[in-house]
Amino acid sequence: MPELPEVETVARRLQERLPGARIAGAEVFWARTISYPQPPERFVREVTGGEVARVGRRAKSVVVHLADGRVLTVALRMTGALIVAGPGAAADPHARVVFSLADGRELRFRDPRKFGRVGLYPGRGRRRVAEPFARHGPEPLAPSFSAARLAARLRRRSARLKTLLLDQSFIAGVGNIYADEALWRARLHPLRRADTLTEDEIRRLHRAVRAALREGLAGGGASYRDYVDPDGEPGLAAERMRVYRRTGEPCFRCGRRIERIVVGARATHFCPRCQPAPPEPGAAR
Ligand SMILES: [Zn+2]
């Protein structure tokens, strides 16, 4: 599933080619892809005529800002991709929504497994519907996301670190890959309880989350599953993973074999030496 670096990569590439484009029409091929407004015919009617001002990202969604203040949100989820197709490009059987641009290109939301969602929301201050990201936590790469802010959010939380990092209301944009990578960098076991971290460990976690995401971003995003960028190219970062999907391979820091456990139904990879297990419940500290 695309996480912050993959979605940010998609948004940046679209920002290079979409601003100024006018949406001349749209076709919805899978009604459930549209999250708002309903029905899809209304979505099509309302998005038609919109002009792209800029493309950004919030959490794991691409956010297309229209010139009139409205926002088109695209949650890629498991297999979603946004593709800019030139005039005359062959039809894509996995395209769920196709926006025809006035210059002859198409912006296609391709999504083989159909978990992705596309919505069109009013601009700030004019919202009669819930703000699409109201329940999301802070952006970890934002300058305002300080170690002190992370510390405040970790306090009084008894959840395991892995579970908490995946919780989008705790921190936005981190998923299974970068949660494992961040915990390895921070030398913290995925099952550590949030409220047991020392100040130094919190600082390490803060640095590690940002470093893991930045490196993923520098590599153009991970290329697992069906992730491709708007040119249809896979990302590069998969070869740079320190622990993710490296079960049984040596730790880059200490040489011990990477282990895999399941936390909250998610495969979790860690080094048993660099990331020492928390004491058993009830054990003397
Ligand atoms: Zn190690």
Structure tokens at 176: 């299974």
Alpha carbon dihedral 254, 257, 261, 263, in 10-degree steps, equals 20
Q: Who has greater pLDDT, 71 or 132?
A: 71
The whole-chain average pLDDT of the chain stands at 91
User: Annotated catalytic residue: which of 2, 40, 132, 140?
Assistant: 2
**C-alpha 243 – ligand 1 centre gap (Å):** 9
How does pLDDT run across 38-63, given as a tens digit for each residue? 999 999 999 999 999 999 999 999 99
Q: Is 266 a catalytic residue?
A: yes
How does pLDDT run across 79-102, given as a tens digit for each residue? 899 999 999 999 999 999 999 999
Q: What is the pTM of this model?
A: 0.89
- Give the containing element (helix H, strand E) for 82: strand 81-85
For residue 185, what pLDDT is reported?
98
* pLDDT exceeds cutoff 90 at 222: no
Query: What confidence category does residue 276 fall into, taking pLDDT thresholds of 50, 70 and 90?
Result: very high
**C-alpha 206 – ligand 1 centre gap (Å):** 19
**C-alpha 4 – ligand 1 centre gap (Å):** 25
Separation of alpha carbons 278 and 16, rounded Å: 46
* pLDDT exceeds cutoff 50 at 285: no
- Give the containing element (helix H, strand E) for 266: strand 266-270
Section 162-177 average pLDDT: 96
* pLDDT exceeds cutoff 70 at 282: no
Q: Who has greater pLDDT, 250 or 130?
A: 250
* pLDDT exceeds cutoff 60 at 284: no
Query: What confidence category does residue 234 fall into, taking pLDDT thresholds of 50, 70 and 90?
Result: low
**C-alpha 149 – ligand 1 centre gap (Å):** 28
Separation of alpha carbons 100 and 19, rounded Å: 14
User: Annotated catalytic residue: which of 13, 60, 117, 162?
Assistant: 60
Closest CA to 179 of 197, 201, 160: 160
Q: What percent of the chain has pLDDT over 70?
A: 90
**C-alpha 271 – ligand 1 centre gap (Å):** 5
Window from 11-25, 207-221, 251-265 with minimum mean pLDDT: 207-221
Query: What confidence category does residue 20 fall into, taking pLDDT thresholds of 50, 70 and 90?
Result: very high
For residue 219, what pLDDT is reported?
81
Query: What confidence category does residue 221 fall into, taking pLDDT thresholds of 50, 70 and 90?
Result: confident
- Burial of 19 by CB count in 10 Å (0-12 exposed, 13-18 middle, 19+ buried)? middle
Burial profile 126-164: b = 16 or more Cβ within 10 angstroms, e = fewer: eeeeeebbeebbbbbbeeebeeeebeebbeebebbbbbb
Sheet (strand 106-110) strand order: 23-28, 95-101, 106-110, 81-85
* pLDDT exceeds cutoff 80 at 235: no
